[in-house]
Chain A
Amino acid sequence: MSNAAPPLFAAREPIFPRQVSGFFRRLKWVILILTLGVYYVTPWLRWDRGPNLPDQAVLVDLANRRFHFFWIEIWPHEFYFVAGLLIMAGLGLFLFTSALGRVWCGYACPQTVWSDLFMTVERWIEGDRNARIRLHNAPWSLRKARLRGVKWAVWLLIAVATGGAWVFYFADAPTLARDLVTLQAAPVAYSTIAVLTATTFIFGGFMREQICIYMCPWPRIQGAMMDPGTLTVGYRKWRGEPRGKGGVKRQQAAAAAIGSGDAVARYGAALDINSAGDRQSRSGDVLGDCIDCNACVAVCPMGIDIREGQQMECITCALCIDACDDVMAKIGRPRGLIDYLALDDEPPTAPQQSAAVAGYADAPAGDVAGATLPPWQPKPLWQHIFRPRTIVYTTAWAAIGVALVVALFIRPEIDMTIAPVRNPTFVTLSDGSIRNAYDIRLRNKHNESRDFRVSLVADSPLELALEGASNAVVNVPADTSRLQRVYVIAPPQIAAARAQRSDLRLWVEDVTSGERAYGNTIFNGKEGSDERGTD
């Protein structure tokens, strides 16, 4: 079968990212240490809330349905705080993506952070890129087995620690740690750790960029979030091409590359590129700044070539910038051949060339006549950050944030909701009185038991009674809520008993602190109801 169908499935191409140093690599180290540190340390922070309450600073208490965050305690009925935070997280992603592209992917995404950590371990144990390629191609030997074994063991340790740290957010960390070691923890704790260990080990060690390319929806969404004004990692093709070794006369080369006689002169001046280092190939062809050293490709954790333009695979980790800057310094050219850049700051390329080069494909054809172009100047950084789009996102983000903070500070210490009992709407008592019932939920957010006094305000002289209590005082234990049935009785002849509906306000007062809260509701009289039973 000579014309067999081409393979529809492809094996993963192994990637061996080379070590790199530079500004962005250092920035990534800092973010890696910060994010991992926050993740591992947070459950162990203590916060004294007094007796009857947990002393863990951050605790998602699923059993008791409480979320503790330092001095803040969220009850289930306040879940809107969590919803608000999720909306803020979403808007924050929009904001950062429209201003700075996929910075989340490149620096802060757990998949990136843990992959980075796993690659670092890999580098320590198996060596840098070339050593790892040799090891990969070598047949299995004792040395290879030993290196692989050690590497996987360390990965597994990190994975267990990752899954292990997760469960500490859901229970008292010191207690759970002791229980885990003595095999007394809940099965769900072990299974959670097992699942997260497996995913961390596989995703960080073996899947890596496959997660981003094939499993994560976010890279697809990025396209809609970014625009030509967004700062993102890119290759200055007009400066770099034609790439090659050796050389002089870069101005003509670049001019040829973008099809415009004086484009490089104009753009180069703006970028402070002088002609001191113009290059020429051995055969005499004029060349751009790219010496085709492949450093940007070798360091890329996604295994792509940034010089091919914007790609879905690119997580904008900026390591290629570090790698290229390093090379530019060595050959005495200005940094920034690969750089954070906005596509609308870059000179357009000729249509016939742009067709083959993604990322420049949208350049308008009319712009290539260099002679008629105005003097070009890239926009300053702040103009890329502060744009109407980012300002709208920031405003919405901040508005929700302010609203949440305000809501947090004005929420009452005592809290009550009233549910009128509507089945039936009222009860006729033997003396002809009309009685309504209400279920009021009282929440005691203090760490001690509190008494609440219930009272009412209405136009008619209504009477109040509490189910199961001789007076109007309800005791609510510490950090709990209590459902209390309250009866409101209208004597037979008063207006509220006769009317169809009348307004009623129920007050709750914390006997200890004197704090008060109220809720408005309705008293149903017998007017208009089916009265067959009573008269």
Chain B
Amino acid sequence: MTDNRKIDPTTGTETTGHSWDGIEELNTPLPRWWLWTFYATIVWGVIYTILYPAWPLVSGATAGLLGYSTRGEVAAEIARVDLSNADLTESLINVDMGGLKDNEELHRFAVQAGRSVFAANCSQCHGAGAGGVVASGYPNLLDDDWLWGGTMEDIAYTVRHGIRNEDDADARVSQMPSFDWLGAAELDATAHFVRSLSGLAHDEAAAQAGADIFATNCSACHGETGLGDREIGAPNLADAIWLRGGSHEAIIQQLKTPRMGVMPPWQARLGEADVRAVTAYVHGLGGGEAAMDTAQDGSAD
């Protein structure tokens, strides 16, 4: 065999004997340990595919002897975090919501947890930034105007039971009747009066005519000065916030065919801890009210 070795005269290196059009391949041997490392990786790969999910099948893949799955790992991690937060969660369930802010650590925990709950469950309607969607009548949760109240307790109740749904007997319910039986002139006058409540541009004469119509038909719920009533979710008409639009046409539209929001109950789905967490989060978005404000009956500011 030694006799058959060919040495390349230029480099003094042995050739492999392969020749292509007279070009010969020099033999620079790889280290043997490299070869063994290569075999070791193959062995590793085979063992890996036996132990871990690997081979694709028609539906799914081989499970692997260790029964590992990324889903399982996530579940285990969530369980681990839940366990480490068990004390805080327990405290949150038992705390008086009105006094939650006094416990800084618990409040921070609730707000952080609530941020995730909100993103997963609430942002579909209220928006990722909680700014609401005016065109669809989803309320803005950032401002200081609350249809049903903005204290911790009020928000928690709304989250628990929802609004105008048929799934929860305790859901907040109210209904604005249709005023399409009013004549066009009366509707026009009423709309002028409603706009006058918050100082928007209006026809003074028409507004005065509308005042009587408002006093007869609307003030029972919205109050004589249009400040609304949180007990029955009647919006404040004297502020700058219009859930269904504040234009003259939009007000007439709402008078003729009232649209009212529906919110599902979340108690069963979220559980008490998450209800309280998302309440703390929403309360901290900029419009949350302290408990004592409720005594002032609907006046947000």
Contact = CB atoms under 8 A, between A and B. Distances in A.
Given A6-B16, A210-B31, A430 B241 contact: yes
Nearest to A8: B29
B143 A487 contact: no
Nearest to B250: A532
A533 B250 CA distance: 10
A1 B131 CA distance: 83
B30 A429 contact: no
A461 interface: no
Interface string A205-221: 00100100010000000
Contact of B246 (A10, A356, A534): A534
Best-surrounded residue of A2, A214, A421, A534 (most CB of chain B within 10 A): A534
Interface of A: 1-12, 207, 210, 214, 356, 421-424, 427-432, 435, 437, 467-468, 485, 487, 492, 530, 532-535
B4 A428 contact: no
B87 interface: no
Nearest to B6: A6
Given A421-B129, A532-B134, A10 B30 contact: yes
Given A3-B17, A430-B144, 9 more contacts: A1-B1, A11-B31, A210-B31, A424-B129, A427-B142, A430-B300, A432-B239, A468-B107, A533-B246
B143 A427 contact: yes
A260 B131 CA distance: 90
Contact of A9 (B5, B34, B131): B34
A4 B286 contact: no
Given A6-B27, A428-B241, A12 B1 contact: no
B239 A430 contact: yes
Chain A contact residues, majority secondary structure:
loop
Contacts of B109: none
Contacts of B142: 424, 427, 435, 437
A468 B131 CA distance: 19
Contacts of A1: 1
A10 B240 contact: no
B21 interface: no
Interface string B29-45: 11111110000000000
A464 to B, nearest CB: 13
Contact of A428 (B32, B143, B284): B143
B151 interface: no
A9 B32 contact: yes
26 contacts: A2-B4, A6-B14, A6-B15, A6-B27, A8-B27, A9-B29, A10-B30, A10-B32, A11-B31, A210-B33, A423-B129, A424-B131, A428-B241, A430-B143, A431-B240, A431-B301, A468-B101, A485-B284, A487-B286, A530-B134, A532-B135, A532-B245, A533-B134, A533-B246, A535-B246, A535-B247
Contacts of B15: 6
B264 to A, nearest CB: 23
Interface in B275-289: 284, 286
Contacts of A11: 31-32
A437 B131 CA distance: 12
Interface in B123-141: 127-129, 131, 134-135, 140
Contact of B241 (A10, A532, A533): A533
B253 to A, nearest CB: 12
B286 A427 contact: yes
Interface residues of B, number: 44
A117 to B, nearest CB: 22
Given A3-B1, A533-B242, A429 B32 contact: no
A8 B300 contact: no
Interface of B: 1, 3-5, 12, 14-17, 27, 29-35, 101, 107, 127-129, 131, 134-135, 140, 142-145, 200, 236, 239-243, 245-247, 284, 286, 300-301
Nearest to A11: B32
A176 B53 CA distance: 37
Given A6-B27, A12-B31, A428-B143, A535 B200 contact: yes
Contacts of B32: 9-12
A171 B155 CA distance: 45
A183 B239 CA distance: 67
B132 to A, nearest CB: 8
B23 to A, nearest CB: 17
A215 to B, nearest CB: 9
A3 B284 CA distance: 84
Nearest to A424: B131
Pairs A-B, 6 closest by C-beta atoms: A423-B129, A430-B239, A432-B240, A10-B29, A424-B131, A533-B134
Contacts of A207: 33
Contacts of B101: 468
B10 to A, nearest CB: 8
A5 B31 contact: no
Most buried by A among B17, B32, B142: B142
A24 to B, nearest CB: 28
A534 B17 contact: no
Contacts of B200: 535
A341 B11 CA distance: 25
B31 A10 contact: yes
Contact of A5 (B16, B140, B240): B16
B129 to A, nearest CB: 3
A532 B128 CA distance: 20
Contacts of B140: 424, 427, 533
A422 B131 CA distance: 10
User: Most chain-A Cβ atoms within 10 A of its Cβ — which of B1, B35, B128?
Assistant: B1
Given A210-B31, A423-B127, A430-B145, A8 B241 contact: no
A310 to B, nearest CB: 15
Contact of B143 (A6, A356, A429, A492): A429
